[in-house]
Amino acid sequence: MSNIIKILPDNLANKIAAGEVVQRPESAVKELLENAIDADATTIELMIKRAGKALIQVCDNGVGMSEADVVLSIQKHATSKISSVEDLEAIRTLGFRGEALSSMAAVSQLEIRTERKHDEIGTLLRIDESGNVIKEKGSFPKGTCVSLKNLFYNVPARRNFLKTDATELKHIIDTFNKISLSHSNIHFKFFNDDELVFDYAAGTLEERIASVFADNMIEALIPVQEKTEFMNISGFIGKPSLLRKSKSEQYLFLNNRFVISKQINHAVFSAYANFLEKGDYPFFILFLEIDPHRIDINVHPSKLEVRFDNEKDIYSFILAVVKKSLGLYDLVPNMNFGETQVSTEKLRQNIFSETEKRDFSDRPVTSGKSSLTRTSFSDKEIDLLFHSLPEINPSPSFVTPHDPFQENEEQKTPVREIKSTHAETEEFPFIIQLHNKYILAQIRSGLMIIDQ
Ligand SMILES: Nc1ncnc2c1ncn2[C@@H]1O[C@H](COP(=O)(O)OP(=O)(O)OP(=O)(O)O)[C@@H](O)[C@H]1O
Ligand SMILES: [Mg+2]
């Protein structure tokens, strides 16, 4: 019997491989935006037509490519981002597989215009319908513009499986928002069918959150920040009044890359256990920074999945940090009478956002039990705290939160707010539990003592 195995022709192999990288317009948008970020762009413009089915174009003001590089860029396994196995074990860029442009070139009519900062002339590279590469020289804006026309024009099966324009557009917007949240230092613009729909100026994470969600969204969030030797975590978690009915607003960024991790989502979910009812999900935007040697992002061509070498530690760490942040919110702001209330009407909802128009206000929440994680403190810390206290003056500054339904309860557990004029108190630990009986909490206007 004759042999039956043969090597597939390049164009067929490329289409098969492209299927994993470019599943729908949204995945092409992701790859192009990530390339622009890796190129150190400070402004990135996304333009789509017919929900990406007719056109996806990303223009950046990044480093650009030389003529030789742009020709190579559309080849399989062509990358400037890694060159050795050691590099693969410590990925610091969003791309590294060297396959996104070649995959997109296999399933669309691709065109790249690029010019480096110090070059006098740039390059235009085009692939025609017969797969021929056409190259021209020309004067272009500095940076790179990649256009994909008629995505999947040569893969009818894939094209037929695309969803309605509304659904594909929604996926593109989700990805655009995720990526723009991960890089608030970059100015992002989004044109949909020639209309500028999002224009996010470069700024802080807080400003980006306001642009993406709502002007006063930040008031519905609790800041999270913890640094350790092996990982840092920062960002925001939703106050318990911002619980969601789906998991779609859980933003996890690992070394500034949007990733999906069931374990981490579960850790955050568990930290909220006391606040959740069936079907509730917490909102969060969390940034983890971990030594790239300790993670593996090369799990799938989409680069969304990740493996950690110390998953259990990361789980416990995130659980503890989120619990602590929730505990601080649960104890402190509810007693902090200067807090401004956020009315639902004040919220400007992003027209495309899935964010439900719910009450983001800082409503009091009772958790049942305290979520404190830090229970032991050094003698020095306790000394410092007590030496910083002014004399207790029970009458004028003795404040009991007034709640007509809680009168009796409050008499049993008085809450004292002691005015402190000492600026140094800013630097002391936020919450201390003593003898399993007293909780000392630093609040904006001084110190709060709770007799448990
Ligand atoms: N917008 C851009 N500006 C400058 N160079 C770019 C841009 N897009 C792509 N390149 C260059 O083309 C190369 C190939 O891009 P491609 O997206 O195919 O691979 P990659 O980003 O290296 O890896 P991955 O397949 O994981 O995305 C990149 O390594 C980079 O050198
Ligand atoms: Mg890439």
Candidates 112, 22, 38; CA nearest to 73 is 112
If one residue of 71, 87, 101 were mutated to test the ligand 1 pocket, choosing by the most ligand atoms within 8 A of its CB, it would be 101
Ligand 1 neighbourhood includes 99 CB (under 6 angstroms):
yes
The CATH number for 213-346, chosen from 3.30.230.10, 3.40.50.720, 3.40.50.1820, 1.20.810.10, is 3.30.230.10
**Residue 329 — very low, low, confident or very high, per pLDDT cuts 50/70/90?**
confident
Candidates 202, 214, 175; CA nearest to 350 is 214
Which of the ligands is closest to the CA of residue 36? 1
* Alpha-carbon span 144 to 163, nearest angstrom: 29
Q: What is the distance in A from the centroid of ligand 2 to the CA of 362?
A: 42
H/E segment holding residue 112: strand 109-115
Cα torsion for 264, 311, 175, 38, to the nearest 10°? 140
Ligand 1 neighbourhood includes 95 CB (under 6 angstroms):
yes
| Residue 341: count of CB within 10 angstroms of its CB | 9
Spatial contact of 231 and 288, defined as CB atoms under 8 Å apart = yes
Distances (CA, A) of 90 to 86, 119, 232, 300: 7, 32, 17, 16
**Residue 452 — very low, low, confident or very high, per pLDDT cuts 50/70/90?**
very low
**Residue 324 — very low, low, confident or very high, per pLDDT cuts 50/70/90?**
very high
Which residues fall inside 5 Å of ion ligand 2, going by CB? 35, 95, 100
* Alpha-carbon span 131 to 110, nearest angstrom: 10
Spatial contact of 347 and 353, defined as CB atoms under 8 Å apart = no
Q: Is the pLDDT of residue 350 over 80?
A: no
Give per-residue pLDDT as tens, 242-264.
888 888 889 999 999 999 999 99
**Residue 19 — very low, low, confident or very high, per pLDDT cuts 50/70/90?**
confident
Nearest ligand 1 atom, CA 78 = 14
* Alpha-carbon span 53 to 165, nearest angstrom: 8
Ligand 1 neighbourhood includes 60 CB (under 6 angstroms):
yes
Q: For ligand 1, atom 1, which residue shows the shortest CA distance?
A: 36
**What is residue 411's three-state secondary structure?**
helix
CA angle 291, 296, 298 (to 5 degrees): 135
Picking from 193-202, 233-242, 361-370, which range would have the lowest pLDDT averaged per residue? Answer: 361-370
Q: What is the mean pLDDT of residues 363-388?
A: 36
Q: What is the distance in A from the centroid of ligand 1 to the CA of 34?
A: 8
Which of the ligands is closest to the CA of residue 34? 2
* Alpha-carbon span 329 to 319, nearest angstrom: 16
Candidates 254, 238, 265, 256; CA nearest to 180 is 256
Looking at residue 418, its pLDDT comes to 32
Q: Is the pLDDT of residue 230 over 70?
A: yes
Candidates 121, 322, 126; CA nearest to 222 is 322
More confident residue, 198 or 442: 198
Q: Is the pLDDT of residue 89 over 80?
A: yes
Q: What is the distance in A from the centroid of ligand 1 to the CA of 36?
A: 8
Which of the ligands is closest to the CA of residue 64? 1
Looking at residue 134, its pLDDT comes to 95
Most confident of 39-43, 275-279, 324-328: 39-43
Q: Is the pLDDT of residue 367 over 60?
A: no
For 163, how many CA atoms within 13 A lie in the half-sphere containing its CB?
A: 11
Q: What is the distance in A from the centroid of ligand 2 to the CA of 392?
A: 62
What are 374's two structure tokens?
């830090």
Q: What is the mean pLDDT of residues 286-290?
A: 97
Looking at residue 245, its pLDDT comes to 81
**Residue 358 — very low, low, confident or very high, per pLDDT cuts 50/70/90?**
very low
More confident residue, 278 or 408: 278
Amino acid at position 227, single letter: K
- pLDDT above 90 coverage of the chain, percent: 61
CA angle 24, 28, 32 (to 5 degrees): 170
Looking at residue 450, its pLDDT comes to 53
Ligand 1 neighbourhood includes 76 CB (under 6 angstroms):
no
Q: What is the distance in A from the centroid of ligand 2 to the CA of 100?
A: 5
Q: For ligand 1, atom 28, which residue shows the shortest CA distance?
A: 79
Give per-residue pLDDT as tens, 163-189.
999 999 999 999 999 999 999 999 999
Ligand 1 neighbourhood includes 385 CB (under 6 angstroms):
no
Most confident of 13-22, 220-229, 239-248, 411-420: 220-229
Average pLDDT value over all residues in the chain: 80
Spatial contact of 73 and 95, defined as CB atoms under 8 Å apart = no
Picking from 180-184, 332-336, 394-398, which range would have the lowest pLDDT averaged per residue? Answer: 394-398
For 239, how many CA atoms within 13 A lie in the half-sphere containing its CB?
A: 23
Ligand 1 neighbourhood includes 81 CB (under 6 angstroms):
yes
The full set of domain ranges for the chain reads: 10-203, 213-346, 379-451
What are 51's two structure tokens?
């929900």
Looking at residue 206, its pLDDT comes to 98
Amino acid at position 66, single letter: S
410: Cβ contacts below 8 Å, ≥ 6 apart: 400, 401, 403
**Residue 381 — very low, low, confident or very high, per pLDDT cuts 50/70/90?**
very low
Looking at residue 44, its pLDDT comes to 98
Q: Is the pLDDT of residue 129 over 80?
A: no
Looking at residue 449, its pLDDT comes to 59
**Residue 202 — very low, low, confident or very high, per pLDDT cuts 50/70/90?**
very high
If one residue of 20, 27, 30, 35 were mutated to test the ligand 1 pocket, choosing by the most ligand atoms within 8 A of its CB, it would be 35
Ligand 1 neighbourhood includes 78 CB (under 6 angstroms):
yes
Q: For ligand 1, atom 8, which residue shows the shortest CA distance?
A: 35
* Alpha-carbon span 448 to 428, nearest angstrom: 13
If one residue of 22, 38, 75, 113 were mutated to test the ligand 1 pocket, choosing by the most ligand atoms within 8 A of its CB, it would be 38
Q: What is the distance in A from the centroid of ligand 2 to the CA of 99?
A: 7
Q: What is the distance in A from the centroid of ligand 2 to the CA of 112?
A: 14
Q: What is the distance in A from the centroid of ligand 1 to the CA of 177?
A: 21
Say which CATH architecture domain 10-203 belongs to.
2-Layer Sandwich (3.30)
Spatial contact of 101 and 58, defined as CB atoms under 8 Å apart = no
H/E segment holding residue 81: none
Give all strands (DSSP E) within 319-386, no chain letters: none
Nearest ligand 1 atom, CA 97 = 26
Q: What is the distance in A from the centroid of ligand 1 to the CA of 446?
A: 53
**Burial class of residue 300 in the structure, from the number of CB atoms within 10 Å of its CB (0-12 exposed, 13-18 middle, 19+ buried):** exposed
Spatial contact of 204 and 211, defined as CB atoms under 8 Å apart = no
Q: What is the mean pLDDT of residues 295-306?
A: 90
Q: What is the distance in A from the centroid of ligand 1 to the CA of 95?
A: 7
Q: Is the pLDDT of residue 51 over 50?
A: yes
Most confident of 136-150, 274-288, 304-318, 340-354: 136-150
